[in-house]
Amino acid sequence: MNRIIILALAGLLVAQASFGQSGDARAAGLSGAMTAVTDDANTLLFNPAGLAFLRKGYLVVEGMGGLSASLSGFETNSALPELTQTTVNGSSGPTYSYNYWDRFLGIRRPFDFESVRPGLSAFIAGVDASVDWDSLSGPEKLDWYQKYSNTESTFRTIQSFGPLVANPTLELGGRYWALSFGADLAASPLFPSGFQGSDSTMNINLRRNIKAAGGLGFNIGPLALGANLRYQSFGSTTKKSSLAEFSQDAQALLISLLPEFLSGDMDPASLETSITAGLGALLTVGPLNMGLYENDLLGFMDQGATNAGTSADPAAALLDNLNAGFSFMPSDWKSGKYRFPLVFQASVDLQKIGDERNREFKSGVEAGLDLGDAIVVLLRAGYGQPLPGHLAEIVTGFDAKKGTLSGGLTAKFLLLRLDGFVEMPMSTLLRLGGPTATGTMTPAERLQRFGSAGISASLRL
């Protein structure tokens, strides 16, 4: 099974599952710099104060999917080479010989099936125990070798991908209020460190997060305040499988994961429920917007909280979960009645301001055309990076190699809207053409995230 088929099957799973992140594909394309960008359904999660400035009601039915990959999926060298068969017809019948391209020497070399017989024999026994290797003809041996090679390629390819994720969501709201219901679902392959034939373990970890949120906002002139309440129910389980099962019927195995999500049969030890609340403020002056959003007000109120990343000091806990944002939106003045058809906006966020381990810088720009929300074409780009350490070290903490670039596209016609996004670490961009071309990556480099991508389709009324 080649890489193209694997990616297609991954897409099949994505189309039937859901995507685990806060916000939609637009928010991802802007790198999450949304605290002061309050003009769509993302407002409920990123700063509910913006609900007071929404121009009209909305109903959104959306399904979004995505996946991520590591650099190991782009290696050029494989443990099992691709073979070429040569046939010579003689008086006693045809004879067969096989050779492969030696990348190191740059020449073709003869290949002996005996060199891979232990693993290949174990693979055949796992698939069809009635097959006698010694009685197979050359072409039959080649056919089994190719099945074995494809299985090994399947192992390497699937191992390189992170969680396959998606997010079915129903949202409705209007000026001053909003409600959202959805589920974050993710399927992550769990592999041993190396390929071990058809018996290679390929367990799949399934994670499900059922979500509901509601929010209210009001304004006094240019100043708005808002709050949200969010409920989550998390659970996970592991689908026991093997590479042999996957190689025999990959599509059936992937499709079989869907009932696992829907049945609610999660590991009891993994089940968790939580209720969190957020409080936001937004000040708008012409095209300028300044927002503050406390993401976990209940955690702040719990003065005894001592979990990792949360201080027992209530004032410090407030800063740990506080986001601040600034946006410049000349095409959408909150105090104005209309939104201009030529869209441009730029935004900057500093999230988790007081958290010395998880603080992040986010930024994004967006431009395009919005003809009365009937025809919309938008392009966007974003950049984000972690900024750990003391607040005084923020300026000196910027390092382009630690950041992540993002981008996205929106296309809407009447009620149907399509959004896509991509993300790629700056460190990956700086490495392109290096280890992926030579196949000499270290184990740590192989696990480095190459990037993520996702797409959503929605009906918006």
pLDDT of residue 223: 95
User: What confidence tens digit (pLDDT) does each residue in 227-261 have?
Assistant: 999 999 998 888 776 666 665 665 666 666 666 66
The pLDDT value given to residue 440: 55
Mean pLDDT score, 423-427: 86
Name the more confident of 185 and 227: 227
- Rounded CA separation 270/248 (Å): 31
Residues 319-343: tens digit of each pLDDT: 889 999 999 999 888 877 777 889 9
DSSP, collapsed to helix, strand or coil, labels residue 234 as strand
Stretch among 177-181, 203-207, 241-245 having the lowest mean pLDDT: 241-245
Residue 414 has, within 13 A of its CA and on its CB side, a CA count of 0
Please answer whether residues 56 and 177 qualify as being in contact, where contact means their C-beta atoms are separated by less than 8 angstroms: no
Helix or strand run (H / E) with residue 156: helix 138-160
End-to-end CA distance of the chain: 42
* Bigger pLDDT: 318 vs 71: 318
Residue 416 burial (CB count, 10 A):
11
Strand partners, 98: 85
3-state secondary structure at position 459: strand
Domain 3-75+159-455 adopts which CATH fold?
A: Porin (2.40.160)
* Residues 343-400: tens digit of each pLDDT: 999 999 999 998 888 999 999 999 999 988 889 999 999 999 999 888 777 777 788 7
Please say if the pLDDT value at position 308 is more than 60: no
Per domain, the residue ranges of the chain are: 3-75+159-455, 83-158
